[in-house]
Amino acid sequence: MSLEASHRPRLLDVRNLTVHLRVADRILRAVDGVDLFIAQGECVGIVGESGSGKTTLARAMLRLLPPVELAAFSGEVIFNGKEIRTLPDAALQAMRRQGTFSMVFQDPLGYLNPTQRVGAQIAEALPSTLPAAAARKRTLDLLREAGLREAELVTRRYPHELSGGMRQRALIALALAPSPLLLVADEPTTSLDATVQLQVLETLRHLHRDRNMALAVITHDLGLVAELCDRVYVMRAGKVVECADVFTLFEAPAHPYTARLIELCRRGAPRMTVTADGALA
Ligand SMILES: Nc1ncnc2c1ncn2[C@@H]1O[C@H](COP(=O)(O)OP(=O)(O)O)[C@@H](O)[C@H]1O
Ligand SMILES: [Mg+2]
């Protein structure tokens, strides 16, 4: 883990980001004035309990908003010097194709096309200028890089024919297709069993290092963050309550909520929740 990473130029700079959702007749402050940055090649964790706004924040950072009516979407999201919150859709699509950022989700089946073989899906995400033979080779390379040794076989499979871990790796390969500078992984291992979790974690670590790719890991699991990240943002009820390097966070958490999350993590009791005053419930 390298702390000097956070002193490199900022790849992503989020300022006062606010996403309020209109749900039934209520306004839900899913993300409420968040400031956050990710430096080039840095690995940042975003932690917090379920419902604290992590996924909404991640999606808003990459302009993938939830399919509900927005009551507010404001603040600045500057990626590589460009404001993307207000960028027109066409310009945003061009940025995506040029390999600026990608996202990996908790539920790979929801993001892979069920009617198309894995190989074809990845080839489609590659630059359209690539000749067919080169695209085929690149697809196999990406699958191997994502940790799938039987890459040939996987290209011919449909998503439902793969195991959970293989599917998550196929989604990682798909996310790598545009050679992103930043990969945002939202609960990348939550739906996997323990052994596979560790292996996928190891793959993410290698990708981050070998590609010098910035990585944002979003999770309710502080243990995962301790393994992987340089710096951590702690979210609670739509706000960032603490930001620290991972060592400081565990040694001397500044916020009682963080201290309780650490306690939960050490007890291995992920289903407990932390109440408003920091008590365990
Ligand atoms: N599409 C949606 N419709 C209704 N409520 C939503 C939607 N997406 C998020 N929320 C609400 O926004 C809040 C933050 O959710 P989310 O960003 O998914 O948190 P996390 O990823 O930390 O679990 C929660 O209260 C959640 O119920
Ligand atoms: Mg989430």
What would the two tokens of residue 80 be? 């590589």
* Mean pLDDT calculated for residue range 253-265: 91
Q: Output the six-digit token pair for 118.
A: 């894995």
Q: Which two tokens mark 70? A: 């927005």
Using most ligand atoms within 8 A of CB, pick from 23, 29, 107 the residue to mutate for ligand 1.
23
pLDDT digits (tens, 9 = 90+) for 63-96: 988 778 899 999 999 999 999 999 998 998 888 8
Residues having C-beta closer than 5 Å to ion ligand 2? 54-55
What DSSP element (H or E) covers 49? none
Q: What is the CB neighbour count within 10 angstroms for residue 239?
A: 16
Q: Above 80 in pLDDT, residue 272?
A: no
Mutate which of 19, 20, 21, 234 for ligand 1? The one with the most ligand atoms within 8 Å of its CB, which is: 21
Where is average pLDDT lowest: 87-91, 217-221, 276-280?
276-280
> What distance in angstroms lies between residue 249's CA and the mean position of ligand 1's atoms?
25
For residue 108, give both structure tokens.
Answer: 């790979």
**Within a 13 Å sphere around the CA of 95, how many CA atoms are in the beta-carbon half?**
21
pLDDT per position as a tens digit, 26-63: 999 999 999 999 999 999 999 999 999 999 999 999 99
* pTM of the predicted model as reported, rounded to 2 decimal places: 0.91
DSSP SS3 for 238: coil
DSSP helix/strand/coil, 47: strand
Looking at the chain, the number of H-run helices and the number of E-run strands are: 10, 10
Domain residue limits, the chain:
110-178
Residues 6 or more apart whose CB falls under 8 angstroms from that of 24 comprise none
Give the number of the atom of ligand 1 that is nearest the alpha carbon of residue 186.
Answer: 21
pLDDT at 4 over 80: no
